[in-house]
Amino acid sequence: MAATVYLVGAGPGAPDLITLRAARLIESADIVFYDALVHADIVAMATRAEKVAIGKRCGTHSTAQRFINKRLVDAAATHARVVRLKGGDPMLFGRAQEEIDALRSAGIAVEIIPGVTAAQAASADLGIALTRRGVSRSVAFATPRVGRGEQPSDWAACLAHADTAVLYMAAHEASDAAAKLLSLGRPARWPVAIVESASLGGPRRYATLEELARDGLSACSGPTLLMFGEVFRAALDRARHHRGKPHDRGAPAVQASR
């Protein structure tokens, strides 16, 4: 059997943000492996497929990556069209390369279908471009997350030199991340946008880097992005004006008006 495994980007959350090609592949798949953050309505599009949940959600029990690799290889032996649904874009913080390498080592064809990554959806939610003429000519995406047995990366130095910076999977260590950026010379008043559950109507908040370092974040119920840069200055000022009072020490970010 000449099987193909498709690594499909399921987008940031909203089911209508997947591509037409992704939708066609899901609908025609024989088996679909999906992450915990993939919207149920996207999974439901696989009307003729066997559906297998394989976890991979921060802070909860998840399937080991090597086991996921094996499941994909095994599925390709008995199914012609295998779809691996990944939240956001498969090639950005999706551990896609490990799956690609495992499949190619087994002689299995792989195709990648890109998806909308969370930073793009968050930018759209806020109505704020990540780049702006005269303000931001560079954008950096990073994560402080380190897998077991992996060497930590110098993510903070990367973000400290970007005009606009986006930090994925960092809500639980927001205070430490902000403090590290302060230590590398970013200004205390550097604006921060905090977007939870991008594309799904989650909370949007603003703070300064100093405030985030001091207070951190309260518990977030969905995947959360920390976004830094002068492109968020006007939104931060508007949010403070709307609130009508100084920043409260107990609330680490100003709630944005909708």
Sign of CA dihedral 44, 46, 47, 51: negative
Final residue before a domain boundary, out of 78, 113, 148: 113
Q: Give the pLDDT of residue 230.
A: 98
Q: How far apart are CA 89 and CA 232, in angstroms?
A: 24
Q: Give the pLDDT of residue 25.
A: 98
Q: Which CATH number covers residue 81?
A: 3.40.1010.10
Domain count, the chain: 2
User: Do residues 138 and 221 both lie within one domain?
Assistant: yes
Q: Give the pLDDT of residue 244.
A: 64
User: Phi first, then psi: what are they for 134, rounded to 5°?
Assistant: 85, -10
User: Do residues 16 and 32 both lie within one domain?
Assistant: yes
Enter the pTM of the model: 0.89
Residues (pLDDT < 50) of the chain are: 59-61, 245-251, 257-258
Q: How far apart are CA 27 and CA 238, in angstroms?
A: 44
How does pLDDT run across 21-43, given as a tens digit for each residue?
A: 999 999 999 999 999 999 999 99
Q: Tell me the one-letter amino acid at 221.
A: S
User: Do residues 92 and 129 both lie within one domain?
Assistant: no
Final residue before a domain boundary, out of 71, 93, 113: 113
Range of the domain at 168: 118-255
Catalytic residue among 16, 30, 35, 237: 35
User: Do residues 128 and 226 both lie within one domain?
Assistant: yes
- 27 sits in the region (left: phi over 0; alpha: psi -120 to 50; else beta) called alpha
Is 35 a residue of the active site? Answer: yes
Select from 61, 97, 63, 68 the least CA-distant residue to 84: 68
Is 180 a residue of the active site? Answer: no
User: Do residues 159 and 68 both lie within one domain?
Assistant: no
Catalytic residue among 56, 125, 180, 215: 56
Q: Give the pLDDT of residue 242.
A: 81
